[in-house]
Structure 1
Amino acid sequence: MKSTKKLTKHLRPLLLSTLLLGGAVHAEVRPLDRVVAIVDNDVIMQSQLDQRLHEVEQTISKRGAQLPPREQLNAQVMERLILENIQLQMGERAGIRIGDEELSQAMSTIAQRNGLTLEQFKAALARDGLSFDDAREQVRREMIISRVRQRVVADRIQISDHEVQNFLASDLGKLQLSEEFRLANITIPLPDGASPEKIQAAERDVLEIYRQLRAGTDFAQLAIARSAGETALEGGEIGWRKAAQLPPPFDGLVSRLSVGGVTEPVRTPGGYIIIKLLEKRGGSAHQVRDEVHVRHILIKPSEIRSEAEVRALVERIYERIQNGEDFAELAKSFSEDPGSALNGGDLNWIDPNALVPEFREMMANTPAGQLSRPFKTPFGWHVLEVLGRRATDSSTQIREQQALNMLRNRKYDEELQSWLRQIRDEAYVETKL
């Protein structure tokens, strides 16, 4: 999909075409792209809207869902494009850029996640009537938007140790390793300070949606047509969540739902929400991990020290340790690992998975209490000594990290929705449909 362009860039070709037509009245008249919305200092073109509508229709059809009326779908897609445009302008002002190499890597990753080579991915897009260049541009936009959100939204979220401990002591915290839920939602928004008439209108809308759901209407279809949530065009699906990641009262409601069930409409500060449970799964953290107590000496090649000289030096250090010299003193004198040299090369107890493969493999093959032969990693040449091995019950650390992640995700979701409403309200938007 073509990126949005400045309004002045579209005026020149329009003026030029007017002059040409004025001098050649019998020339063939071709339809021109047109502006369908002005968003702050940028525009959205009809071609962009048409392209995104096509992509959304393809996605909905693949899921086997029924397309909503064109007018409703058009409004939903336009609103999504407006929000994207606002965030892209913020990214441009912040100097956020996605280079070609990084973008190519992202496209390759997407292909791999779908079990395809890059060429197969291009062919699959073509079969759906989508060009690879358009898909690549959309991914670039999404990457920029993601970074804008990380800078603005994620940076606002602070979680204290006190909050983590309180969460772990709560009933939800104690159950945080239990079940996980795949959810979808339908949101009927309410602006801050909504009038009684608007509140009543929103209540009527959500009750009608709930009635249709109870009568068997497809949830995804209603989400696409009626929801104001950010994931409306994905059928309202918000992915996997633990109960603890959901704001009250949804944390308790979802836990009591059966798969396929929906909650009754719930009034929240942002509007009315209905949640559907699509799937659930049990989960428990692996709480015991192997750790190794290891120390090492690192020598790095440099402009004044060749690879051969580095290896020769490490060999001499190895021989000196073998001859009885103190490992820690030699590490303090020679090691070029600033994080461990002053501690005699000691890395303390460490998870092998945190180390590069070459170091991890040599460490695994060295018995406790013994010295390794000199070996090479991407950092340089090493000699290591394994001081001990243990299996550590890391339940406390895992629980605390999971609690931290859940609290952060919960605050992020709430902050994101509030921030999106804020930037939409503050933006100048003029639609021309």
Structure 2
Amino acid sequence: MKHAYFTVSRLGLNLLCASILGFSGAAAVLAADGVIPLDGIVAVVNDDIITITELGAEVQRISQELRRRNTQAPAPDILQKQVLERLVNRRIQLQTAKRANIVVDDKMLNLALTNIASESNLTLSQFRQVLVRDGVSFEQFRENIRDEITLNRFYQRQIDSRVSITEADITAFLETQQAQGNISVEYQLGHILIAIPEDAAAEEVKASRKKAEDIVSRLQGGADFAETAVAESDGSTALDGGNLGWRGANELPTLFTPIVPGMNKGDTSKVIKSTSGFHIVKLLDTRDTDTQIVKQTQARHILVANKDRNKEEALALAQELHQRIEDGEDFASLAKEHSDDLGSGKEGGSLGWVSPGATVAPFENAMNALAPGEMSDPIESRFGWHIIHVDERRDFDATETVKQKRARDIVRQRRIEEERQTELRRLRDDAYVELRL
């Protein structure tokens, strides 16, 4: 645990188990070092206390975790002070959450414990047996998880829900990443070379430059690049329309490296001089090496909701509509008249292009099983009964969408971490803390 407000999902099973180990002997370990007395209070936090047993247990947990990571622990007195500081901050946050009426009931706690167990393919009962076998107090483990959920809910309410990210934030982030070369981009280039002899006279060089500049003018005037390359280029790819294929930033010819990353798709460069002649490049396309191609489905549906009718009545109506379509009636017309999904209903049931994960699982599974032109039998979801028709499928390049979402998530998480740290500092400043180490 790096901070006390991490979510349960981020807690590794090994770390969670390790956090409970060694409670019974912790005080004795510290007492043997002669640092603090066997019994006593090591800190007062507002109207609460932290005891030697709590501190000793946490010191031992941290020591075990450091050993597990093959990390050298600091001197005992330094480690104790660091651990105590963490315990104080955690106690302040829990007190604040309690005042904000953040309560984690047993039902919510049991669900979280069940989810943790399932991540290890165990039932809750089996998980408990594993903890006991490893010498871990299940009750203490349970309360630690309750605290984690409490703090997570507190920060979600107090901080996370107030954090907003603008399009300008995302644009600025992506531009910074691009400038730092952190986004893997490949470029598809067109190339035209107007060669000059090795020992060319000044007049020959001048004539070659003039030819290259004329070609640039023609290209800017709308001439086809590939055709021009075939006709005019002295380069090795001339007969391929000058296409150099896809090149990563580190694979570009050194001559082009300062130029290409600053070009937009479709741009044609000015004349670029080298010892071999005069070059013209066109940025034909770009792509992220993490290209995300998804299979989209163009679909329509009719929803017969269970609202205002029982399940059997809804199914009967869905089956009737299905039969009428089978008998030749128009799907779109029936959707407009009968679908309880008012948004798509007025569009003849059209859902547009649907990406994976955009619909509930029963709907998506049934839709994916259909070939274009096929219609499903009525299938049930939590919304009611659906009749699905698949019109078409396509491969869709979702790279830009994924990139934008990833950038938004990164920027939002950074902002949340900053705001949480600011809030923690404020809470600490406002709290009464007396350290007795």
* TM-score normalised by length of structure 2: 0.61
Q: Answer yes or no: is 1:109 the counterpart of 2:115.
A: yes
Distance 1:342 1:90, change over 3 A: farther
The equivalences for 1:123-134 within 5 A come to 123-126=129-132, 128-134=134-140
Matched residues in 2 for 1:325 and 1:317: separation? 9
CA positional deviation for 1:318:
1.4
Per the TM alignment, residue 67 of structure 1 is displaced from its structure 2 partner at its CA by 4.1
Describe the shift of the 1:339–1:99 C-alpha distance in structure 2 as closer, same or farther (beyond 3 A).
Answer: farther
Check conservation: 1:91, 1:145, Cα contact below 8 A.
yes
The aligned counterpart of 1:351 is 355
Partner deviation per Cα, 1:247-285 (whole Å, 9 max, x = no partner): xxxxxxxxxxxxxxxxxxxxxxxxxxxxxxxxxxxx953
Q: Which moved more, 1:344-353 or 1:75-84?
A: 344-353
User: 1:362 offset after TM fit, Å?
Assistant: 1.8
The equivalent of 1:78 in structure 2 is: 84
Partner of 1:389: 393
- 1:5 corresponds to which residue? none
Paired residues of 1:295 and 1:345 also in contact (CA < 8 A):
yes
C-alpha displacement of 1:350: 1.0
**1:93 matched residue in structure 2:** 99
2:62 pairs with 35, 56, 59, which one? 56
Does residue 287 (structure 1) correspond to residue 261 (structure 2)? The answer is: no
Could you tell me how far 1:397 is from its partner in structure 2? 1.1
Distance 1:134 1:398, change over 3 A: same
Q: 2:320 aligns with which of 294, 316, 323?
A: 316
Distance 1:126 1:90 in 2: 32
CA distance in 1, matches of 2:294, 2:85: 48
- Residue 84 of structure 1, CA deviation: 0.9
Instruction: Deviation per CA, 1:336-359: give whole Å up to 9, x if none.
Output: 234433333222111133323322
Contact 1:369–1:388 (8 Å) recurs in 2? yes
Residues 1:305 and 1:158: Cα distance change in structure 2 (over 3 Å): closer
CA deviation after TM superposition for structure 1 residue 401, in Å = 1.1
Q: Which residue of 2 aligns with 1:297?
A: 302
Is 1:367 paired with 2:374? no
- Aligned position for 1:255: none
Mark the CA change 1:33 to 1:156 in structure 2 (over 3 Å): closer, same or farther: farther
With over 3 angstroms needed to count, the CA separation of the structure-2 counterparts of 1:375 and 1:53, relative to structure 1, is same
Assess if the C-alpha contact under 8 Å between 1:288 and 1:392 holds in 2. Answer: yes
8 Å Cα contact 2:295-2:396 kept in structure 1: yes
Q: For residue 427 of structure 2, what is the aligned residue in structure 1?
A: 423
In 2, the alpha carbon distance for the partners of 1:49 and 1:172 equals 46
What SS does structure 2 have at the residue aligned with 1:409? Answer: helix
Deviation at residue 118 of structure 1 after TM alignment: 4.0
Q: Which runs of 5+ in 2 are unaligned?
A: 1-36, 186-287
8 Å Cα contact 2:303/2:385 also seen in 1: yes
Distance (Å, rounded) in 1 between the aligned partners of 2:331 and 2:178: 49
Q: Equivalent residue for 1:187?
A: none
- Indicate the larger mover: 154-163 or 129-138: 154-163
CA positional deviation for 1:291: 0.7
Q: 1:70-99 CA distances to partner (integer Å, 9 max, x unpaired)?
A: 322221121111111111122112222222
In the superposition, relative to structure 1, how do residues 413 and 339 fare at CA in structure 2: closer, same or farther (>3 Å)?
Answer: same
Q: Does 1:336 align with 2:350?
A: no
**Partner Cα separation in structure 2 for residue 172 and residue 399 of structure 1:** 12
Partner SS, residue 374 of structure 2 = coil
How far 1:385 sits from its partner (Å)?
1.2
Out of 136, 139, 150, the position equivalent to 2:142 is 136
Conservation of the 8 A alpha-carbon contact between 1:315 and 1:374: yes
Aligned-pair CA distance for 1:132: 1.2
Q: Which whole-Å CA distance do the structure 2 matches of 1:75 and 1:102 have between them?
A: 34
Three-state SS of the structure 1 residue aligned to 2:363 is helix
In the alignment, the residues of structure 1 paired with residue 411 and residue 404 of structure 2 have an alpha-carbon distance, to the nearest angstrom, of 11
Give the CA deviation at 1:319. Answer: 2.1
**Normalising by the residue count of structure 1, what TM-score does the alignment of the two structures yield?**
0.61
Relative to 1, partners in 2 of residues 1:284 and 1:415: Cα closer, same or farther, differing over 3 Å? farther
The 3 A distance-change label for structure 1 pair 58 and 111 is farther
Structure 1: distance between partners of 2:103 and 2:310: 38
2:276 maps to none
Residue in 2 that maps onto 1:163: 169
* Residue correspondences, number: 299
User: What one-letter code is carried by the residue in structure 2 that aligns with 1:398?
Assistant: V
CA contact (8 A) 1:34 1:46 kept: yes
Residues 391, 317 of structure 1: alpha-carbon distance in 2 compared, 3 angstrom cutoff: same
1:64 CA drift (Å):
4.2
Q: Report what 1:21 is aligned to.
A: none
Choose the corresponding residue for 1:306, options 307, 310, 314.
Answer: 310
Q: How far 1:106 sits from its partner (Å)? A: 2.2
Q: 8 Å contact 1:55–1:130 — kept in the other structure?
A: no
Name the CA distance, whole Å, in 2 between partners of 1:301 and 1:173.
Answer: 54
Match of 1:291, as an amino acid? Answer: Q
What SS does the corresponding residue of 1:340 show, helix, strand or coil?
helix
Q: Hey, what's the Cα distance between the residues in 1 that align with 2:134 and 2:77?
A: 23
Aligned AA (1:63): R
Post-superposition offset of 1:175: 4.2
Over residues 211-265 of structure 1, what are the superposed CA-to-partner deviations in whole Å (9 max), with x where a residue is unaligned? xxxxxxxxxxxxxxxxxxxxxxxxxxxxxxxxxxxxxxxxxxxxxxxxxxxxxxx
Give the Å deviation of 1:296.
Answer: 0.9
Partners of 1:97 and 1:144 within 8 A in 2 = yes
Once the two structures are superposed, the pairs formed by residues 166-181 of structure 1 within 5 Å of their partners are 166-172=172-178, 175-178=181-184
8 Å Cα contact 1:285/1:398 also seen in 2? no
The answer for unaligned runs of 5 or more in structure 1 is 1-30, 180-282
